[in-house]
């Protein structure tokens, strides 16, 4: 700080010195110009005054000299010329008659042949009694050297006076500037340079300058210092508040149960909180080391779905969400509900970032699967139950709304199952049901088809992409009859055997909704049983007009099924092959 004060003082001294230099140079230039102008003016004035004096002298003696010449009084004429010669500026006096002869001369060495001086006065002498009679000429030569010396002396005196006057004026100005400007400014600069930022010290106000510009500068500087001090206090308070808020928010960010992460639009990781690391089975340090890598490919099992959600968030400028499976480091499988939204990069307003939030919903998914399993899965055979079958049919029908698509179901009723229960008991009956379920599962495509248990000894198989009257359906129905009819080992070398009666119905040939399709297959199955069992029957007729989705299916009376038609028209039947 002392160095700063000294620097400020040097700056102030330098400013004063520059003022002195400018003042001296200006005064010198002004003095030179004033001296030159004064010299020229004084010189011209002295010459004019000398000429006027000699002219007045000539006018005064002209008539007297004319009288002396007229009277030819050489004594008087000599006295006159000697008197004129005594004038300090007169070099020579000549009086000549009309014929040019010298009558009198006021010179120590009169020379009649000497030419007149270049700076001289000549007057013709006229008779005092006859103004038309020319008597001669009076010639007065000026002493140019004396005249020049006199003029220079007077001009130099005036020039020196002007130089002295300007020097005095410059000194006075210097003293006034030193007292009124330089010293107060130096004091202001010294006090201002010595102040520490944020200190309570203020600049002192000189009494002499309380109401002038320096006082205004001092008061304005003090107000500025006070405003700066207030701003520093507010800034410190705001910084402390922001630091406290940042600490709280950072704590919330770190301990939040939700995983929070920031990505580039290309899916590269920018930052994340520790919860993300816990969700993916990693550590915060390892995840921090992955900044700049492809977070989406590394974390999400279905990376394409995650990119679709991000693209939707960017295109719609709104938050998108979805359930995504996580690719955990430890090999475990987890579900996360993820939300994606687009935000502006605070460090680069032209760049956008993707903010993601993920919640662990693994247990919820497990609970949903357990509930769905209890609702849609038969606990004995682990096949779909009636609700699961209807849901599966609804899904299949929605998928195949294409007019060229097909869904065919096989309504399977186990022939002779009641006898197995009566003979061997319900445990063996359950064992037979489980084995039949396995055999049906072996005949379907797991990717598109499914098998379910409607209840009791009734099962169902749904196949996509096959028309009910196709040859492949007939072959598959024969395979089902053959598979079910095979003996079942029930332990201790005993075998149980059942058969199968199958009703076949297809969408959209026989129904427009899942309940209608199930009812059509059920009626076809009863026709198969009445035709001799161990065979399959395809439903007959086209579906009626479409009814609302929530309308109840037509009643099916299994205890008293409708009698089959007298002929086999509209019914396709087959026996095991």
Q: What is the pLDDT of residues 15-24, one digit of tens each?
A: 667 777 887 8
Same domain, 14 and 30: yes
List pLDDT tens digits, range 204-236.
777 777 777 777 787 888 788 878 788 888 888
Report the pLDDT value the prediction gives residue 218, as an integer from 0 to 100. Answer: 78
Which of 313, 331, 365 is the last residue before a domain boundary? 365
The CA distance from 26 to 31, in Å, is: 8
Rounded average pLDDT over 402-428: 88
Same domain, residue pair 125 and 212: no
Residue 250 has a pLDDT of: 66
pLDDT at 7 over 70: no
Rounded-to-integer distance, Cα 95 and Cα 72, Å: 11
pLDDT digits (tens, 9 = 90+) for 470-505: 999 999 999 999 999 999 998 888 999 999 999 999
Tell me how far apart the alpha carbons of residues 10 and 377 are, in angstroms, rounded to a whole number: 96
Report the sign of the C-alpha dihedral through residues 562, 567, 573, 575, in that order.
positive
CATH number at residue 265: 3.30.450.20
pLDDT above 70: percentage of residues in the chain: 82
Please say if the pLDDT value at position 110 is more than 70. no
DSSP state of 553: P
User: What phi and psi values does residue 91 have, to the nearest 5 degrees?
Assistant: -95, -40
CA dihedral 428, 429, 433, 436 (to 10 degrees): 70
Is residue 192 included in any domain, yes or no?
Answer: no
Q: Is the pLDDT confidence value at 556 over 50? A: no
Contact in structure between 534 and 541 (CB atoms under 8 Å): no
| pLDDT(577) > 60 | no
Q: Does residue 83 register a pLDDT over 50? A: yes
Q: What is the CA radius of gyration of the chain?
A: 67
Q: What is the mean pLDDT of residues 414-442?
A: 93
- Residue 196 inside a domain? The answer is no
In the DSSP assignment, the letter for residue 294 is B
pLDDT top residue among 453 and 267: 453
Among 76-90, 180-194, 303-317, the range scoring the smallest mean pLDDT is 180-194
514 and 553 assigned to the same domain: yes
Per-residue pLDDT at 552 = 37
Cα–Cα distance measured from residue 369 to residue 376, given in angstroms and rounded to the nearest whole number: 10
What is the overall mean pLDDT for the chain?
78
Range of the domain at 485: 379-574
- In this structure, the answer to whether residues 27 and 94 fall within a common structural domain is yes
Overall average pLDDT of the 91-108 stretch: 74
pLDDT at res. 403: 59
CA distances, 94 to each of 50, 77, 124, 412 (Å) = 19, 10, 12, 173
pLDDT of residue 451: 95
Closest to 459 measured CA to CA, from 383, 511, 540, 393: 383
Quote the CA–CA distance of 343 and 272 in Å, as a whole number: 15
Q: Are 480 and 500 in contact (CB under 8 A)?
A: yes
Strand partners, 464: 407
For residue 320, is it within any domain? yes
Per-residue model confidence (pLDDT) at position 553: 36
Sequence-distant (6+) residues with CB within 8 A of 128 are 63, 66, 67, 70
What pLDDT score does 450 carry? Answer: 93
Q: Which of 11-20, 324-333, 513-522 has the lowest mean pLDDT?
A: 11-20
Mean pLDDT of the region 531-535:
88
Pair 31, 127 in one domain: yes
**CA atoms within 13 A of residue 517's CA, in its CB half-sphere:** 27
Does 154 map to a domain? no
CATH of the domain at 470: 3.30.70.270
Q: What is the pLDDT of residue 288?
A: 58
Residues 213 and 267 in one domain: no
> What CATH number is given to the structural domain containing 55?
3.30.450
Hey, which bits of 106-241 come out as E strands? 120-126, 134-142
* Residue 197 per-residue DSSP state: T
pLDDT band at 547 (very low <50, low <70, confident <90, very high): very low
The predicted model gives 1-30 an average pLDDT of 65
- pLDDT at residue 538 tops 90: yes
* Any domain includes 100: yes
Residue 407 lies in a domain: yes
- Stretch 513-542: mean pLDDT: 90
Residue 172 has what pLDDT? 85
Please determine, for residue 438, whether its predicted confidence score (pLDDT) is greater than 70.
Answer: yes
3-class SS of residue 270 = strand
Q: Is the distance from CB of 106 to CB of 91 less than 8 angstroms?
A: no
Comparing C-alpha atoms, which of 56, 81, 64 is closest to residue 126? 64
For residue 243, tell me if it sits in a domain. Answer: yes
CA-angle at 530, arms to 455 and 429, nearest 5°: 35
151-165 average pLDDT score:
81
Q: Which residues are CB-neighbours of 352 under 8 A, at least 6 positions away?
A: 265, 314, 342, 343, 344, 345
Q: What is the pLDDT of residue 399?
A: 63
Looking at residue 291, the DSSP 8-state letter turns out to be: T
In the structure, what pLDDT confidence band is assigned to residue 539 with cuts at 50, 70 and 90? very high
Same domain for 395 and 541?
yes
pLDDT over 80 at 530, yes or no = yes
Domain match, 498 and 461 both: yes
More confident residue, 454 or 45: 454
One domain for residues 340 and 402: no
Task: Establish if 286 belongs to a structural domain.
Answer: yes
Confidence class of residue 13 from pLDDT cuts 50, 70 and 90? Answer: low
Q: How far apart are CA 306 and CA 301, in angstroms?
A: 9
pLDDT band at residue 529, thresholds of 50, 70 and 90? very high
Last residue of a domain, one of 365, 396, 415: 365
Instruction: Please tell me the predicted confidence (pLDDT) of residue 183.
Output: 74
Residues 315 and 433 in one domain: no
Same domain, 66 and 214: no
Looking at the fold, whether 328 and 451 belong to one and the same domain comes out as no
Count: domains in the chain: 4
């Amino acid at each position: 700080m002392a160095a700063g004060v000294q620097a400020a003082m040097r700056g102030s001294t330098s400013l004063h010195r520059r003022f002195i230099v400018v003042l001296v140079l200006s005064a010198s230039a002004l003095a030179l110009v004033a001296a030159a102008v004064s010299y020229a003016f004084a010189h011209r004035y002295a010459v004019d005054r000398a000429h006027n004096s000699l002219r007045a002298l000539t006018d005064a003696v002209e008539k007297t000299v004319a009288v002396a010449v007229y009277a030819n009084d050489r004594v008087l004429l000599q006295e006159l010329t000697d008197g004129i010669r005594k004038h300090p500026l007169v070099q020579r006096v000549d009086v000549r008659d009309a014929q040019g002869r010298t009558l009198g001369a006021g010179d120590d060495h009169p020379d009649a042949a000497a030419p007149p001086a270049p700076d001289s006065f000549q007057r013709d002498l006229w008779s005092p009694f006859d103004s038309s009679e020319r008597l001669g000429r009076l010639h007065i030569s000026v002493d140019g050297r004396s005249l020049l010396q006199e003029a220079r002396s007077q001009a130099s005196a005036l020039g020196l006076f002007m130089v002295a006057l300007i020097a005095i004026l410059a000194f006075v100005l210097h003293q006034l500037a030193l007292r009124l400007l330089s010293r107060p400014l130096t004091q202001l600069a010294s006090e201002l340079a010595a102040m520490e930022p944020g200190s309570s010290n203020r600049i002192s106000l000189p009494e002499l300058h309380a109401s002038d510009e320096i006082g205004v500068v001092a008061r304005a500087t003090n107000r500025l210092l006070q405003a700066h001090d207030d701003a520093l206090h507010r800034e410190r308070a705001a910084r402390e508040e922001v630091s406290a808020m940042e600490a709280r928010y950072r704590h919330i960010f770190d301990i939040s149960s939700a995983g929070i992460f920031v990505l580039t639009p290309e899916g590269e990781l920018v930052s994340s909180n520790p919860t993300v690391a816990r969700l993916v089975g990693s550590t915060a340090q390892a995840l921090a080391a992955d900044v700049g890598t492809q977070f989406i490919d590394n974390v999400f099992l279905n990376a394409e779905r995650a990119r679709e959600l991000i693209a939707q968030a960017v295109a719609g400028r709104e938050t998108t969400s979805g359930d995504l499976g996580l690719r955990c480091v430890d090999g475990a499988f987890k579900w996360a509900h993820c939300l994606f939204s687009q935000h502006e990069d605070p460090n680069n307003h032209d760049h956008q970032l993707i903010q993601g939030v993920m919640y662990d919903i693994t247990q919820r998914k497990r609970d949903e699967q357990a509930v769905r399993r209890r609702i849609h899965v038969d606990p004995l055979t682990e096949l779909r139950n009636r609700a699961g079958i209807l849901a599966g049919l609804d899904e299949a029908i929605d998928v195949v709304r294409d007019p060229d698509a097909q869904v065919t179901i096989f309504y399977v009723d186990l022939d002779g199952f009641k006898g197995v229960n009566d003979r061997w008991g319900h445990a063996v009956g359950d064992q037979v049901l489980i084995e039949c379920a396995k055999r049906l599962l072996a005949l379907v495509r797991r990717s598109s088809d499914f098998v379910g248990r409607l209840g009791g000894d009734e099962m169902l198989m749904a196949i996509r992409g096959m028309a009910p009257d196709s040859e492949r359906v007939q072959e598959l129905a024969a395979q089902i009859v053959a598979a079910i009819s095979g003996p079942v080992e029930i332990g201790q070398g005993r075998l149980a055997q059942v058969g199968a009666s199958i009703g076949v119905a297809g969408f959209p040939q026989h129904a427009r909704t899942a309940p209608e399709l199930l009812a059509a297959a059920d009626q076809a199955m009863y026709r198969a049983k009445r035709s001799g069992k161990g065979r399959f029957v395809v439903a007959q007729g086209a579906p009626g007009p479409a009814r609302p989705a929530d309308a109840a299916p037509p009643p099916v009376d299994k205890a008293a099924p409708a009698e089959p038609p007298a002929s086999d028209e509209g019914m396709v039947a087959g026996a095991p092959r």
